[in-house]
Every structure is written in structure tokens, then in C-alpha cells.
Amino acid sequence: MLIIAAALAQAYDRLATSPFGGGEPHRPMPLLVLMTAMAGLLLAQSLFYWWVRRVDRRAGAGLSRRVAHPIQPGWRALIGRPNAALMVATFAGATALAVSALTTQDSTVWYAALVMLVGLAGVAAGFVMQLRDLLMRPVVAEDEMSLMADVVMRVEDARELTRPTVAWALPMVLLFGSAPAWWNAAALAFVILGLITLFLIQARTPPIATVARQAMGTR
């Protein structure tokens, strides 16, 4: 869903700022249309996750035997504080870039910045929704091995979710090159610093199997 939201914002920006007579930016749709589309995607995602959780609960209730010590891993076990801090900092930085672009006098840059803000809001909401699903999804495990597999998959999903690639891509795709030079330099530094930070975090993060065992309370 995060990729779809980013692609939607990108496509909308291309349509909204395409040349149309006299070189002026053509805006065929108001921002309300983009916001409505984002809300529709989030609603569809929410209903899908609700349906999946209901199926999982039914499957769990039908198991003849549950694991001896069922667990429900929290966000610290799945994501870890460094990854959570990187996500928050990345979205904060991308939002600051969009807001700073609103100070320019170029109407095309100004409008693209608004599109970027709407896209970031949709992506952030989708991230929170996916994280909530990971935390609330019932553990369906019949034995210790299936429990381990469930936790490992949750950790893998969480690591994939917390890679803030969309928040890095939106400023570069929507505004880079058309904004002032100082903004382009800030956007490039933002992405480079983020990538370096992500590399350092991944280098110090234990393997998925180790994290899963720690979440289960085993070694």
C-alpha cells in the first residue's frame, strides 16, 4: 500500500504540473481528489487487515493444540528502537523538506510540495496501519516450530516495513531538480544521511532468528 500511495502521489503531481497552453501548470484535479484516493486506499487496507485477523482467529480456534507459551510480540521486539527512531526522523525530515519548499515563489514547486505533504500523510497513515496489524494479528501456532516461524515472519515484515524508502523517494521524485539549488542540496543530503544511518543500524542489528528467539524468551 505504501508503494501504491507513493505512485499515486507521483502520478498526480505529473498530471497536475504538466504543461497546458502558455506554459502554465495544468491542474486538472484539486488536492481533494488525491486526499480522497488516499483515504480510499487506507480504508481498503484497513478492511483487508480486519478480514485477515478474523480468518486467523478462526484458524487458531480450530487448532487441536496450542503452543505451550503463546506470545504476542510488541513493537520493540519486532522493530527495535533504532529502526523506529529512523522512521520517525525520516518522516519528520521529509515533511520539513516539503514545508520548506512552500516558501518558494514558484507555483509549480509550491503545488508539488502540497502533493508531497498529502502523499507523506497517506504513507505515514499506511505505515501505522500496517504496524498495528503486525502487533494485533493473533499468533496462530500449534507447536513450538510453528510459533517460531510466525515470529520470524513478523520480524521480517517489520524490518521491511521500517525501511523508509518511500519517504526518501517522494522528495526526490516530486521536487528534486525543479526546486531551488539549496533545496536540492538539502534533499540529497537527507537521503545520503538516511542511507548511511540505515546501513549502520542494519550492521548492528542481530539476525532475524536471534531477534525471534529473544522475543519468544528463548536463546
**43 vs 212: CA distance, rounded Å:** 31
Three-state helix/strand/coil letters over 189-202: HHHHHHHHHHHHHH
**167 vs 125: CA distance, rounded Å:** 12
| Res 56: pLDDT | 65
Give φ, ψ of 30 to 5 degrees: -75, 165
| Res 214: pLDDT | 77
Residue spans of the chain under pLDDT 50: 2-8, 15, 17-28, 67-69, 219
| Res 48: pLDDT | 76
Task: Say what the pTM is.
Answer: 0.71
Q: What digits encode the pLDDT tens for the residues 28-59? A: 456 666 667 777 777 777 777 777 777 766 76
3-class DSSP assignment, residue 18: strand
| 8 A C-beta contact, residue 182 and residue 109 | no
| Res 196: pLDDT | 95
| Res 68: pLDDT | 44
Number of Cβ within 10 Å of residue 156's Cβ equals 14
| Res 107: pLDDT | 80
| Res 62: pLDDT | 61
| Res 63: pLDDT | 57
| Res 93: pLDDT | 94
| 8 A C-beta contact, residue 186 and residue 97 | yes
* CA dihedral sign, ordered 202, 157, 211, 74: positive
Q: Which three cell numbers stand for residue 89?
A: 526522523
How many domains does one find in the chain? Answer: 1
| Res 15: pLDDT | 46
Residue 37: which domain range?
2-216
